[in-house]
Amino acid sequence: MRFIQSVPDFPDLVYGFFAEVVLSLLLTSFKFEDAGKSIKWRMSGIVAPVVEGKDHARSELPMILTRMEKK
């Protein structure tokens, strides 16, 4: 557990915790599926996914995003 070292650290802790909670809620609310596209990885300074047969200057990772129903 991280302790607050000074007052300026407090907003960063609050925003970080809030972002973590929102992200976890969003990730559990959606289903991620493969879009069926062939993906290659561009291995340059930064590794990035690209769709095979498309412009390799643009990074893409197509997927099907479905909202999960609450139970």
What is the rounded average pLDDT of the residues 46-57? 87
pLDDT at 8: 62
What pLDDT, on the 0 to 100 scale, is given for residue 7? Answer: 55
Comparing 53 with 7, which gets the higher pLDDT?
53
Phi, psi of 9 (to 5 degrees): -70, -25
CB contact at 8 A, 59 and 42: yes
- DSSP states along 44-66: SSSEEEEETTS-TTS----EEEE
Report residue 49 as tokens.
Answer: 């996914």
Check residues 41 and 57 and name the one with the higher pLDDT.
41
pTM: 0.55
Phi, psi of 6 (to 5 degrees): -155, 165
Average pLDDT for 54-70: 87
